[in-house]
Protein backbone atom coordinates (compact mmCIF):
# COMPACT_ATOMS: atom_id res chain seq x y z
CA UNK A 1 0.00 0.00 0.00
CA UNK A 2 1.48 3.37 -0.93
CA UNK A 3 1.32 6.48 1.30
CA UNK A 4 -1.76 7.78 -0.51
CA UNK A 5 -3.73 4.61 0.22
CA UNK A 6 -3.67 3.25 -3.34
CA UNK A 7 -2.44 -0.30 -3.82
CA UNK A 8 0.91 -0.11 -5.58
CA UNK A 9 -0.17 2.46 -8.19
CA UNK A 10 2.02 5.49 -8.59
CA UNK A 11 0.98 8.86 -9.94
CA UNK A 12 3.73 10.22 -12.16
CA UNK A 13 4.55 13.45 -13.92
CA UNK A 14 6.66 13.32 -17.08
CA UNK A 15 8.84 16.30 -17.94
CA UNK A 16 9.90 15.98 -21.59
CA UNK A 17 6.96 13.73 -22.54
CA UNK A 18 7.32 14.28 -26.30
CA UNK A 19 10.92 13.04 -26.51
CA UNK A 20 12.53 9.64 -26.82
CA UNK A 21 12.48 8.84 -23.09
CA UNK A 22 9.14 10.61 -22.54
CA UNK A 23 7.28 8.64 -25.20
CA UNK A 24 8.79 5.34 -24.02
CA UNK A 25 7.75 6.19 -20.46
CA UNK A 26 4.20 6.68 -21.72
CA UNK A 27 4.42 3.22 -23.35
CA UNK A 28 5.49 1.75 -20.00
CA UNK A 29 2.67 3.53 -18.16
CA UNK A 30 0.06 2.55 -20.75
CA UNK A 31 1.13 -1.10 -20.51
CA UNK A 32 0.81 -1.01 -16.70
CA UNK A 33 -2.33 1.01 -15.87
CA UNK A 34 -2.74 -0.71 -12.50
CA UNK A 35 0.78 0.33 -11.46
CA UNK A 36 1.37 3.74 -13.08
CA UNK A 37 -0.93 6.66 -13.81
CA UNK A 38 0.36 9.73 -15.64
CA UNK A 39 -1.21 12.80 -14.03
CA UNK A 40 0.81 15.56 -15.68
CA UNK A 41 3.10 16.08 -18.66
CA UNK A 42 5.32 18.85 -19.96
CA UNK A 43 7.60 19.61 -22.90
CA UNK A 44 9.48 22.41 -24.57
CA UNK A 45 6.73 23.48 -26.95
CA UNK A 46 8.27 22.21 -30.18
CA UNK A 47 5.48 19.69 -30.80
CA UNK A 48 2.17 21.01 -29.39
CA UNK A 49 0.04 18.56 -31.39
CA UNK A 50 1.78 15.53 -29.92
CA UNK A 51 1.68 17.07 -26.44
CA UNK A 52 -2.07 17.70 -26.79
CA UNK A 53 -2.75 14.16 -28.04
CA UNK A 54 -0.72 12.72 -25.16
CA UNK A 55 -2.64 14.89 -22.67
CA UNK A 56 -6.02 13.64 -23.91
CA UNK A 57 -4.96 10.01 -24.32
CA UNK A 58 -3.65 9.94 -20.76
CA UNK A 59 -6.39 12.13 -19.26
CA UNK A 60 -3.88 14.27 -17.36
CA UNK A 61 -5.01 17.13 -15.16
CA UNK A 62 -2.12 19.44 -16.04
CA UNK A 63 0.07 20.05 -19.07
CA UNK A 64 3.04 22.43 -19.27
CA UNK A 65 5.04 24.07 -22.06
CA UNK A 66 8.31 25.89 -21.49
CA UNK A 67 7.89 28.27 -24.43
CA UNK A 68 5.38 30.92 -23.31
CA UNK A 69 4.54 31.57 -26.97
CA UNK A 70 3.31 27.98 -27.35
CA UNK A 71 0.50 28.28 -24.77
CA UNK A 72 -2.15 29.36 -27.26
CA UNK A 73 -0.96 26.84 -29.84
CA UNK A 74 -1.25 24.13 -27.17
CA UNK A 75 -4.76 25.23 -26.25
CA UNK A 76 -5.84 25.11 -29.91
CA UNK A 77 -4.16 21.71 -30.32
CA UNK A 78 -6.05 20.44 -27.26
CA UNK A 79 -9.38 21.58 -28.75
CA UNK A 80 -8.47 20.02 -32.11
CA UNK A 81 -7.49 16.75 -30.43
CA UNK A 82 -10.79 16.88 -28.49
CA UNK A 83 -12.70 17.42 -31.75
CA UNK A 84 -10.90 14.45 -33.35
CA UNK A 85 -12.21 12.31 -30.52
CA UNK A 86 -15.73 13.64 -31.05
CA UNK A 87 -15.93 15.53 -27.74
CA UNK A 88 -18.53 18.31 -27.69
CA UNK A 89 -16.93 21.63 -26.64
CA UNK A 90 -19.12 22.03 -23.55
CA UNK A 91 -18.38 18.55 -22.21
CA UNK A 92 -14.69 18.71 -22.90
CA UNK A 93 -12.59 19.72 -19.91
CA UNK A 94 -9.19 21.06 -20.81
CA UNK A 95 -6.35 20.15 -18.49
CA UNK A 96 -4.80 23.10 -16.70
CA UNK A 97 -2.11 24.70 -18.87
CA UNK A 98 1.14 26.01 -17.39
CA UNK A 99 3.34 27.99 -19.76
CA UNK A 100 6.58 29.90 -19.68
CA UNK A 101 10.08 29.57 -18.30
CA UNK A 102 8.87 28.52 -14.82
CA UNK A 103 6.24 26.06 -16.05
CA UNK A 104 8.50 23.00 -15.61
CA UNK A 105 9.55 23.88 -12.05
CA UNK A 106 5.88 24.46 -11.17
CA UNK A 107 4.82 21.18 -12.79
CA UNK A 108 7.63 19.38 -10.93
CA UNK A 109 6.01 20.48 -7.63
CA UNK A 110 2.53 19.24 -8.65
CA UNK A 111 0.92 16.56 -6.49
CA UNK A 112 2.31 13.15 -7.51
CA UNK A 113 4.49 10.26 -6.34
CA UNK A 114 7.28 10.40 -8.94
CA UNK A 115 8.59 13.02 -11.33
CA UNK A 116 10.34 11.56 -14.37
CA UNK A 117 12.75 14.19 -15.65
CA UNK A 118 13.29 13.43 -19.36
CA UNK A 119 14.10 16.97 -20.46
CA UNK A 120 17.24 17.31 -22.55
CA UNK A 121 20.02 19.65 -21.43
CA UNK A 122 21.02 21.39 -18.21
CA UNK A 123 17.79 23.41 -18.37
CA UNK A 124 16.52 20.31 -16.53
CA UNK A 125 18.42 21.21 -13.33
CA UNK A 126 15.86 23.61 -11.83
CA UNK A 127 12.93 21.17 -12.34
CA UNK A 128 14.97 18.37 -10.72
CA UNK A 129 15.62 20.57 -7.67
CA UNK A 130 11.97 21.66 -7.60
CA UNK A 131 10.73 18.05 -7.55
CA UNK A 132 13.21 17.11 -4.84
CA UNK A 133 12.26 20.11 -2.71
CA UNK A 134 8.59 19.14 -3.05
CA UNK A 135 9.54 15.74 -1.58
CA UNK A 136 8.79 13.74 -4.73
CA UNK A 137 10.82 10.79 -5.86
CA UNK A 138 12.71 11.68 -9.04
CA UNK A 139 13.29 9.16 -11.84
CA UNK A 140 16.22 10.93 -13.44
CA UNK A 141 17.00 10.58 -17.15
CA UNK A 142 18.26 14.18 -17.36
CA UNK A 143 21.93 13.42 -16.58
CA UNK A 144 22.82 17.08 -17.19
CA UNK A 145 21.09 17.97 -13.86
CA UNK A 146 23.67 15.94 -11.97
CA UNK A 147 26.59 17.03 -14.11
CA UNK A 148 25.84 20.76 -13.98
CA UNK A 149 24.47 20.92 -10.46
CA UNK A 150 25.81 17.83 -8.68
CA UNK A 151 26.48 19.53 -5.30
CA UNK A 152 23.03 21.21 -5.36
CA UNK A 153 21.20 18.03 -6.30
CA UNK A 154 23.04 16.04 -3.63
CA UNK A 155 22.20 18.65 -1.00
CA UNK A 156 18.50 18.64 -1.98
CA UNK A 157 18.05 14.85 -2.24
CA UNK A 158 17.30 12.51 0.65
CA UNK A 159 18.90 9.03 0.40
CA UNK A 160 17.01 7.00 -2.23
CA UNK A 161 15.01 9.98 -3.47
CA UNK A 162 16.60 9.86 -6.93
CA UNK A 163 16.33 6.69 -9.00
CA UNK A 164 18.56 6.53 -12.09
CA UNK A 165 17.00 6.05 -15.53
CA UNK A 166 20.21 6.31 -17.58
CA UNK A 167 20.86 2.69 -18.61
CA UNK A 168 24.39 2.52 -17.16
CA UNK A 169 23.40 3.95 -13.78
CA UNK A 170 20.29 1.80 -13.62
CA UNK A 171 22.59 -1.18 -14.26
CA UNK A 172 25.04 -0.04 -11.58
CA UNK A 173 22.23 0.45 -9.06
CA UNK A 174 20.87 -3.02 -9.85
CA UNK A 175 24.28 -4.71 -9.69
CA UNK A 176 25.24 -2.86 -6.50
CA UNK A 177 22.38 -4.62 -4.70
CA UNK A 178 24.61 -7.73 -4.71
CA UNK A 179 26.85 -6.40 -1.93
CA UNK A 180 27.43 -3.71 0.70
CA UNK A 181 28.74 -0.28 -0.32
CA UNK A 182 32.06 -0.93 1.44
CA UNK A 183 32.47 -4.16 -0.57
CA UNK A 184 32.48 -2.33 -3.93
CA UNK A 185 35.94 -1.92 -5.46
CA UNK A 186 35.25 -0.49 -8.90
CA UNK A 187 32.42 0.57 -11.19
CA UNK A 188 32.74 -0.38 -14.84
CA UNK A 189 30.70 1.80 -17.19
CA UNK A 190 30.13 0.36 -20.66
CA UNK A 191 30.14 2.45 -23.84
CA UNK A 192 28.93 1.35 -27.27
CA UNK A 193 31.77 3.36 -28.84
CA UNK A 194 29.25 5.13 -31.07
CA UNK A 195 29.06 5.09 -34.88
CA UNK A 196 32.75 5.98 -35.31
CA UNK A 197 34.27 3.28 -33.10
CA UNK A 198 37.59 2.10 -34.54
CA UNK A 199 38.31 5.30 -36.48
CA UNK A 200 41.44 7.38 -35.97
CA UNK A 201 41.25 11.10 -35.24
CA UNK A 202 42.15 11.87 -38.88
CA UNK A 203 39.27 9.71 -40.06
CA UNK A 204 36.85 11.84 -38.02
CA UNK A 205 37.71 15.15 -39.67
CA UNK A 206 34.87 15.29 -42.20
CA UNK A 207 32.09 13.17 -40.69
CA UNK A 208 28.57 14.51 -41.23
CA UNK A 209 25.64 15.11 -38.90
CA UNK A 210 23.79 12.28 -40.62
CA UNK A 211 26.67 9.88 -39.95
CA UNK A 212 26.93 11.04 -36.34
CA UNK A 213 23.18 10.46 -35.91
CA UNK A 214 23.47 6.80 -36.99
CA UNK A 215 23.91 5.26 -33.54
CA UNK A 216 24.69 1.55 -33.82
CA UNK A 217 22.47 0.30 -30.98
CA UNK A 218 20.17 2.99 -29.54
CA UNK A 219 17.47 5.21 -31.02
CA UNK A 220 17.62 8.42 -28.95
CA UNK A 221 17.13 12.20 -29.13
CA UNK A 222 19.48 14.33 -31.22
CA UNK A 223 21.77 15.77 -28.54
CA UNK A 224 22.50 12.50 -26.74
CA UNK A 225 23.04 10.76 -30.09
CA UNK A 226 25.68 13.30 -31.16
CA UNK A 227 27.15 13.03 -27.64
CA UNK A 228 27.46 9.28 -28.07
CA UNK A 229 29.35 9.83 -31.34
CA UNK A 230 31.89 12.19 -29.70
CA UNK A 231 31.94 10.06 -26.49
CA UNK A 232 30.91 13.20 -24.56
CA UNK A 233 27.92 11.13 -23.43
CA UNK A 234 30.33 8.75 -21.71
CA UNK A 235 32.18 11.71 -20.22
CA UNK A 236 28.91 13.03 -18.79
CA UNK A 237 28.14 9.52 -17.52
CA UNK A 238 31.48 9.23 -15.70
CA UNK A 239 30.65 12.44 -13.82
CA UNK A 240 27.08 11.17 -13.31
CA UNK A 241 28.50 7.92 -11.85
CA UNK A 242 30.68 9.86 -9.44
CA UNK A 243 27.70 11.97 -8.37
CA UNK A 244 25.33 9.02 -7.85
CA UNK A 245 27.68 6.64 -6.10
CA UNK A 246 30.36 8.99 -4.68
CA UNK A 247 32.96 6.68 -6.22
CA UNK A 248 36.41 8.28 -6.71
CA UNK A 249 37.16 8.93 -10.38
CA UNK A 250 40.10 6.49 -10.37
CA UNK A 251 37.67 3.68 -9.44
CA UNK A 252 35.37 4.36 -12.41
CA UNK A 253 36.48 2.51 -15.55
CA UNK A 254 35.01 2.93 -19.03
CA UNK A 255 35.03 -0.11 -21.31
CA UNK A 256 33.80 -0.23 -24.89
CA UNK A 257 31.15 -2.91 -25.44
CA UNK A 258 29.71 -2.44 -28.94
CA UNK A 259 26.66 -4.70 -28.47
CA UNK A 260 25.14 -2.59 -25.62
CA UNK A 261 23.81 -5.66 -23.81
CA UNK A 262 25.86 -5.34 -20.64
CA UNK A 263 24.79 -1.93 -19.39
CA UNK A 264 27.48 -1.63 -16.69
CA UNK A 265 29.11 -3.69 -13.95
CA UNK A 266 30.13 -3.56 -10.31
CA UNK A 267 33.38 -5.19 -9.24
CA UNK A 268 33.50 -6.26 -5.58
CA UNK A 269 36.52 -6.63 -3.28
CA UNK A 270 36.53 -10.44 -3.51
CA UNK A 271 37.11 -10.33 -7.29
CA UNK A 272 33.47 -10.95 -8.26
CA UNK A 273 31.93 -8.78 -10.99
CA UNK A 274 28.14 -8.44 -11.26
CA UNK A 275 26.81 -7.22 -14.62
CA UNK A 276 23.29 -6.23 -15.66
CA UNK A 277 22.38 -7.56 -19.13
CA UNK A 278 19.39 -6.93 -21.37
CA UNK A 279 18.98 -6.08 -25.07
CA UNK A 280 19.19 -2.31 -25.62
CA UNK A 281 15.69 -1.03 -24.77
CA UNK A 282 15.18 2.00 -22.51
CA UNK A 283 11.74 0.79 -21.44
CA UNK A 284 13.52 -1.52 -19.00
CA UNK A 285 15.43 1.13 -16.99
CA UNK A 286 12.40 3.45 -17.22
CA UNK A 287 10.10 0.74 -15.81
CA UNK A 288 12.71 -0.14 -13.22
CA UNK A 289 12.90 3.47 -12.00
CA UNK A 290 9.12 3.94 -11.93
CA UNK A 291 8.48 0.69 -10.02
CA UNK A 292 11.65 0.70 -7.86
CA UNK A 293 12.31 -1.27 -5.68
CA UNK A 294 9.84 -3.63 -7.35
CA UNK A 295 9.90 -4.81 -10.98
CA UNK A 296 7.23 -4.65 -13.68
CA UNK A 297 6.52 -7.83 -15.66
CA UNK A 298 7.67 -7.90 -19.29
CA UNK A 299 8.95 -4.32 -19.39
CA UNK A 300 11.24 -5.37 -22.25
CA UNK A 301 12.45 -8.55 -23.95
CA UNK A 302 15.21 -10.43 -22.11
CA UNK A 303 18.42 -11.77 -23.70
CA UNK A 304 17.60 -14.69 -26.01
CA UNK A 305 19.84 -17.48 -24.68
CA UNK A 306 18.86 -19.89 -27.49
CA UNK A 307 20.69 -17.74 -30.04
CA UNK A 308 24.47 -17.67 -30.62
CA UNK A 309 25.84 -14.25 -29.82
CA UNK A 310 29.09 -12.54 -28.97
CA UNK A 311 29.63 -9.85 -26.38
CA UNK A 312 32.96 -8.13 -26.82
CA UNK A 313 34.91 -5.63 -24.75
CA UNK A 314 37.78 -3.33 -25.71
CA UNK A 315 39.57 -0.35 -24.20
CA UNK A 316 38.54 3.17 -25.13
CA UNK A 317 40.78 4.96 -27.66
CA UNK A 318 41.47 8.16 -25.71
CA UNK A 319 43.47 9.66 -28.56
CA UNK A 320 40.65 9.60 -31.11
CA UNK A 321 38.01 10.24 -28.42
CA UNK A 322 39.47 12.53 -25.71
CA UNK A 323 36.03 13.50 -24.34
CA UNK A 324 36.07 11.00 -21.45
CA UNK A 325 39.53 12.04 -20.21
CA UNK A 326 38.41 15.67 -20.44
CA UNK A 327 35.31 14.92 -18.36
CA UNK A 328 37.43 13.17 -15.74
CA UNK A 329 39.61 16.27 -15.56
CA UNK A 330 36.51 18.49 -15.18
CA UNK A 331 35.00 16.17 -12.58
CA UNK A 332 38.20 15.84 -10.55
CA UNK A 333 38.71 19.62 -10.62
CA UNK A 334 35.12 20.07 -9.44
CA UNK A 335 33.84 23.58 -8.73
CA UNK A 336 31.86 24.57 -11.85
CA UNK A 337 34.01 22.74 -14.41
CA UNK A 338 31.49 19.91 -14.98
CA UNK A 339 28.80 22.53 -15.68
CA UNK A 340 31.20 24.31 -18.04
CA UNK A 341 32.05 21.04 -19.83
CA UNK A 342 28.36 20.36 -20.40
CA UNK A 343 27.28 23.89 -21.34
CA UNK A 344 30.17 24.34 -23.81
CA UNK A 345 29.29 20.98 -25.33
CA UNK A 346 25.59 21.94 -25.69
CA UNK A 347 26.65 25.02 -27.70
CA UNK A 348 29.11 23.02 -29.81
CA UNK A 349 26.56 20.32 -30.62
CA UNK A 350 24.08 22.98 -31.76
CA UNK A 351 26.83 24.53 -33.93
CA UNK A 352 27.79 21.14 -35.40
CA UNK A 353 24.15 20.39 -36.25
CA UNK A 354 23.85 23.86 -37.85
CA UNK A 355 26.94 23.24 -39.96
CA UNK A 356 28.97 25.91 -38.15
CA UNK A 357 31.53 23.57 -36.54
CA UNK A 358 33.22 20.37 -37.75
CA UNK A 359 32.79 17.19 -35.72
CA UNK A 360 36.30 17.34 -34.19
CA UNK A 361 35.66 20.98 -33.32
CA UNK A 362 33.11 19.90 -30.70
CA UNK A 363 35.51 18.35 -28.20
CA UNK A 364 38.40 20.61 -29.21
CA UNK A 365 36.27 23.64 -28.38
CA UNK A 366 35.04 22.16 -25.08
CA UNK A 367 38.68 21.56 -24.18
CA UNK A 368 39.61 25.17 -24.98
CA UNK A 369 36.68 26.51 -22.97
CA UNK A 370 37.71 24.41 -19.96
CA UNK A 371 41.29 25.61 -20.10
CA UNK A 372 40.18 29.26 -20.46
CA UNK A 373 37.76 29.03 -17.50
CA UNK A 374 38.32 31.52 -14.68
CA UNK A 375 38.19 30.20 -11.09
CA UNK A 376 34.49 29.70 -10.41
CA UNK A 377 33.75 28.52 -6.84
CA UNK A 378 31.79 25.34 -6.02
CA UNK A 379 28.19 26.30 -6.88
CA UNK A 380 25.91 26.92 -3.90
CA UNK A 381 22.88 28.10 -5.90
CA UNK A 382 21.31 27.52 -9.31
CA UNK A 383 22.23 31.14 -10.19
CA UNK A 384 25.91 30.32 -9.64
CA UNK A 385 25.63 27.34 -11.97
CA UNK A 386 23.87 29.56 -14.52
CA UNK A 387 26.63 32.19 -14.26
CA UNK A 388 29.32 29.62 -15.01
CA UNK A 389 27.21 28.16 -17.81
CA UNK A 390 26.59 31.59 -19.37
CA UNK A 391 30.31 32.28 -19.33
CA UNK A 392 30.97 28.89 -20.99
CA UNK A 393 28.27 29.42 -23.63
CA UNK A 394 29.63 32.85 -24.57
CA UNK A 395 33.23 31.59 -24.70
CA UNK A 396 32.25 28.53 -26.73
CA UNK A 397 30.40 30.71 -29.25
CA UNK A 398 33.38 33.09 -29.56
CA UNK A 399 35.59 30.11 -30.40
CA UNK A 400 32.98 28.64 -32.75
CA UNK A 401 32.69 31.89 -34.71
CA UNK A 402 36.48 32.20 -34.91
CA UNK A 403 36.63 28.61 -36.23
CA UNK A 404 34.00 29.50 -38.86
CA UNK A 405 35.98 32.48 -40.23
N1 LIG B 1 16.93 8.77 -25.31
C2 LIG B 1 17.55 7.89 -24.55
O3 LIG B 1 17.54 6.68 -24.85
C4 LIG B 1 18.29 8.33 -23.33
C5 LIG B 1 18.23 9.64 -22.90
N6 LIG B 1 18.85 10.00 -21.73
C7 LIG B 1 18.75 11.38 -21.28
O8 LIG B 1 17.37 11.71 -21.17
C9 LIG B 1 17.16 13.09 -21.48
C10 LIG B 1 16.17 13.20 -22.62
O11 LIG B 1 16.74 12.59 -23.76
P12 LIG B 1 15.86 12.27 -25.07
O13 LIG B 1 14.53 11.77 -24.66
O14 LIG B 1 16.71 11.43 -25.92
O15 LIG B 1 15.73 13.71 -25.72
P16 LIG B 1 14.70 14.22 -26.84
O17 LIG B 1 15.38 15.29 -27.57
O18 LIG B 1 14.15 13.07 -27.59
O19 LIG B 1 13.49 14.84 -25.97
C20 LIG B 1 13.71 15.95 -25.17
C21 LIG B 1 12.43 16.35 -24.47
O22 LIG B 1 12.73 17.52 -23.69
C23 LIG B 1 11.78 18.54 -24.03
N24 LIG B 1 12.38 19.84 -23.84
C25 LIG B 1 13.32 20.46 -24.55
N26 LIG B 1 13.60 21.67 -24.04
C27 LIG B 1 12.78 21.81 -22.97
C28 LIG B 1 12.58 22.84 -22.02
N29 LIG B 1 13.26 23.99 -22.06
N30 LIG B 1 11.68 22.63 -21.04
C31 LIG B 1 10.97 21.49 -21.00
N32 LIG B 1 11.11 20.48 -21.88
C33 LIG B 1 12.02 20.65 -22.84
C34 LIG B 1 11.42 18.27 -25.48
O35 LIG B 1 10.21 18.92 -25.81
P36 LIG B 1 9.85 19.36 -27.34
O37 LIG B 1 9.46 18.11 -28.04
O38 LIG B 1 8.75 20.32 -27.17
O39 LIG B 1 11.10 19.98 -27.88
C40 LIG B 1 11.29 16.74 -25.43
O41 LIG B 1 10.08 16.38 -24.84
C42 LIG B 1 18.55 13.65 -21.82
O43 LIG B 1 19.11 14.21 -20.67
C44 LIG B 1 19.34 12.41 -22.23
O45 LIG B 1 20.71 12.56 -22.03
C46 LIG B 1 19.55 9.11 -20.97
C47 LIG B 1 19.66 7.82 -21.38
C48 LIG B 1 19.05 7.32 -22.59
C1 LIG C 1 20.71 4.33 -23.57
C2 LIG C 1 21.66 5.13 -22.80
O3 LIG C 1 21.73 5.05 -21.60
C4 LIG C 1 22.56 6.03 -23.53
O5 LIG C 1 23.16 6.97 -22.66
C6 LIG C 1 23.57 5.14 -24.15
O7 LIG C 1 24.45 4.77 -23.15
C8 LIG C 1 24.24 5.78 -25.28
O9 LIG C 1 25.17 4.92 -25.79
P10 LIG C 1 26.73 5.17 -25.76
O11 LIG C 1 27.31 4.08 -24.92
O12 LIG C 1 27.08 5.06 -27.21
O13 LIG C 1 26.99 6.54 -25.23
MN1 LIG D 1 23.49 6.07 -20.86
pLDDT digits (tens), the chain, 405 positions: 444 455 589 999 999 999 999 999 999 999 999 999 999 999 999 999 999 999 999 999 999 999 999 999 999 999 999 988 888 767 777 899 999 999 999 999 999 999 999 999 999 999 999 999 999 999 999 999 999 999 999 999 999 999 999 999 999 999 999 999 999 999 999 999 999 999 999 999 999 999 999 999 999 999 999 999 999 999 999 999 999 999 999 999 999 999 999 999 999 999 999 999 999 999 999 999 999 999 999 999 999 999 999 999 999 999 999 999 999 999 999 999 999 999 999 999 999 999 999 999 999 999 999 999 999 999 999 999 999 999 999 999 999 999 876
259 CA to centre of ligand 3 in angstroms: 14
Atom 3, ligand 1: residue with shortest CA distance: 220
Q: Going by C-beta distance under 8 Å and a sequence separation of 6 or more, which residues neighbour residue 262?
A: 171, 190, 275, 276, 277, 311
Q: Which atom of ligand 2 is nearest to the CA of 218?
A: 1
3-class SS letters over the chain:
CCCCCCCCCEEEEEECCCCHHHHHHHHHHHHCCCCEEEEEEEECCCCHHHHHHHHHHHCCCEEEECCHHHHHHHHHHHHHHHHHCCCCCCCCCCCEEEECCCHHHHHHHCCCCEEEECCCCHHHHHHHHHHHHCCCEEEECCHHHHHHHHHHHHHHCCCCCEEECCHHHHHHHHHHCCCCHHHEEEEEEEECCCCCCCCCCHHHCCCCHHHHCCCCCCCCCHHHHHHHHHCHHHHHHHHHHHHHHCCCHHHEEEEECCCCCEEEEEEECCCCEEEEECCCCCHHHHHHHHHCCCCCCCCCCCCCCCCCCCCCCEECCCCCCCHHHHHHHHHHHCCCHHHHHHHHHHHHHHHHHCCCCCHHHHHHHHHHHHHHCCCCCCCCCHHHHHHHHHHHHHHHHHHHHHHHC
Instruction: Name residues with Cβ closer than 5 Å to ligand 3, which is an ion.
Output: 166-168
From the CB of 169, is ligand 2 less than 6 Å away? no
pTM of the model as a whole: 0.97
CA neighbours closer than 13 Å in the CB half-sphere of residue 196: 27
What is the enclosing helix (H) or strand (E) of 284?
Answer: helix 283-291
How many angstroms separate the CA atoms of 321 and 256, rounded? 12
From the CB of 37, is ligand 2 less than 6 Å away? no
Q: Which atom of ligand 2 is nearest to the CA of 237?
A: 5
- To test the pocket of ligand 1, the residue of 13, 14, 21, 243 to mutate (highest count of ligand atoms within 8 Å of its CB) is 21
Instruction: Name the H helices within 85-166.
Output: 103-109, 125-133, 143-156
- To test the pocket of ligand 2, the residue of 167, 265, 313 to mutate (highest count of ligand atoms within 8 Å of its CB) is 167
The length of the chain in residues reads 405
Q: How far is CA 191 from the centre of its chain?
A: 15
Atom 2, ligand 2: residue with shortest CA distance: 167
Q: How far is CA 362 from the centre of its chain?
A: 20
Amino acid sequence: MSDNGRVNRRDIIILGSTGSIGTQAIDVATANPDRIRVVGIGAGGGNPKLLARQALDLGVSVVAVAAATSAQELQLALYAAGDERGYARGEFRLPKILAGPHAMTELARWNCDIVLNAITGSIGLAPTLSALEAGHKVALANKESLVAGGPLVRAAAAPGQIIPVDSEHSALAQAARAGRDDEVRRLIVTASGGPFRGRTRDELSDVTVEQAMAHPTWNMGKVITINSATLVNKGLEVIETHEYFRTPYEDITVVVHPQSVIHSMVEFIDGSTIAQASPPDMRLPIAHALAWPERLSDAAAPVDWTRSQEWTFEPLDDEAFPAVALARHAGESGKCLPAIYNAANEECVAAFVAGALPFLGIVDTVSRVLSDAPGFAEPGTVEEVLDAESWARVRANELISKAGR
